């Protein structure tokens, strides 16, 4: 068995643009970490390799029209079930890119097929968050610091991976992160995060220009490393879904709203240029509260009165 065959979740297709292939491999790794079957991952890989080999456009320059044009050509002579699978694979991949900030908007449209829909942001309930916090006690200092930073700063994993020690003020519990469009913003993190982060930094050299988080080789921890940490934590907490880094970001937003924070403040912390992007969390939180209240009322037999 060759190394290429064993690493079925890695694409080495030379006909795909390098940056796109890197993102594709991150996506395929996420499928593997989610325990998807080897045959499923191979099918997804083969299909996406074909798409990006035939459409040599940088991922962030793709448009919905580009995707639809390719789908229409691909669909000629295909069974409806085959087209639905194709739409499902593209939707899954672009959802991943959207969640990990490789795309600013969803490229798939609902009208294209029954499964081409954009999911709502996923966040942890209070019970799930409590389980995750408890499970995080089993992690190393570095991993605990990363998880706490993600949950209490609302940062993207790319922003966390690129932090340097000099970007962080542990005493003030603030950090300057470089977000989308290379815009720098100040974020805040919790007292608990500051304590764990300080303890972690005491275990290693602390040159100001060094990356904040290092891997086991003493090099900058990559985004894929952060992804592995959160997915491992999700399994330790026995969640019924994967814990992606962006789920931490969504949980930060809903927690802040539940505590009464203003939308404008949350938008600034998360680096949203459009306040409507932040408002979606308010709608989701309201729906969640209404659903839980209804379930509680039904379970207790309580009667509500106007």
DSSP-assigned letters across all residues of 207-270: -TTSBSSB-TTSSBPPHHHHHHHHHHHHHHTT-SS---HHHHHHHHHHHHHHTT--HHHHHHHH
- Residuewise pLDDT in 10s, the chain (306 residues): 444 446 889 999 999 999 999 999 999 999 999 888 888 899 999 999 999 998 888 888 889 999 999 988 988 888 887 888 888 899 999 999 999 989 988 888 876 754 444 456 788 999 999 999 999 999 999 999 999 999 999 999 999 999 999 999 999 999 999 988 788 999 999 999 999 999 999 998 878 999 999 999 999 999 999 999 999 999 999 999 999 999 999 999 989 988 888 889 999 999 998 887 888 777 666 555 444 444 434 454 443 333
Query: In 18-120, at which residue ranges do the beta strands (DSSP E only) sit?
Result: none
Residue 259 confidence (pLDDT) = 85
What per-residue confidence (pLDDT) applies to 283?
67
Residues in contact with 77: Cβ distance below 8 Å, sequence separation at least 6, in sequence order: none
- Domains (range + CATH), the chain: 3-112 (1.10.150), 126-292 (1.10.443.10)
Return the pLDDT at 7.
Answer: 86
The pLDDT of residue 20: 93
């Amino acid at each position: 068995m060759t190394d290429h065959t064993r690493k079925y979740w890695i694409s080495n297709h030379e006909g795909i643009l390098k940056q796109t292939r890197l993102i594709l491999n991150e996506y395929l790794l996420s499928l593997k970490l989610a325990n998807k079957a080897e045959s499923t991952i191979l099918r997804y890989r083969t299909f996406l390799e074909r798409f990006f080999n035939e459409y040599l456009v940088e991922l962030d320059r793709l448009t919905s029209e580009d995707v639809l044009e390719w789908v229409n050509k691909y669909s000629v002579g295909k069974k409806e079930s085959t087209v639905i699978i194709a739409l499902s694979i593209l939707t899954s991949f672009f959802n991943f890119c959207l969640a990990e900030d490789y795309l600013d908007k969803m490229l798939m449209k609902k009208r294209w097929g029954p499964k081409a829909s954009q999911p709502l942001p996923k966040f942890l309930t209070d019970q799930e968050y409590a389980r995750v916090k408890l499970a995080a006690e089993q992690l190393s200092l570095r991993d605990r610091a990363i998880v706490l930073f993600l949950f209490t700063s609302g940062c993207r994993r790319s922003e966390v991976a690129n932090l340097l020690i000099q970007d962080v003020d542990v005493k003030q519990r603030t950090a300057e992160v470089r977000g989308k469009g290379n815009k720098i913003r100040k974020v805040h993190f919790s007292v608990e995060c500051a304590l764990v982060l300080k303890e972690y930094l005491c275990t290693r050299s602390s040159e100001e220009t060094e990356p904040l988080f290092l891997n086991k080789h003493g090099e900058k921890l990559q985004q894929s490393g952060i992804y592995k940490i959160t997915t491992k934590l999700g399994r330790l907490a026995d969640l019924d879904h994967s814990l992606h880094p962006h789920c931490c970001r969504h949980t930060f937003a809903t927690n802040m709203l539940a505590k009464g924070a203003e939308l404008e403040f949350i938008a600034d912390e998360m680096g949203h240029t459009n306040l409507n992007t932040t408002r979606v969390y308010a709608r989701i939180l309201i729906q969640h509260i209404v659903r839980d209240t209804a379930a509680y009322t039904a379970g207790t037999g309580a009667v509500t009165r106007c």
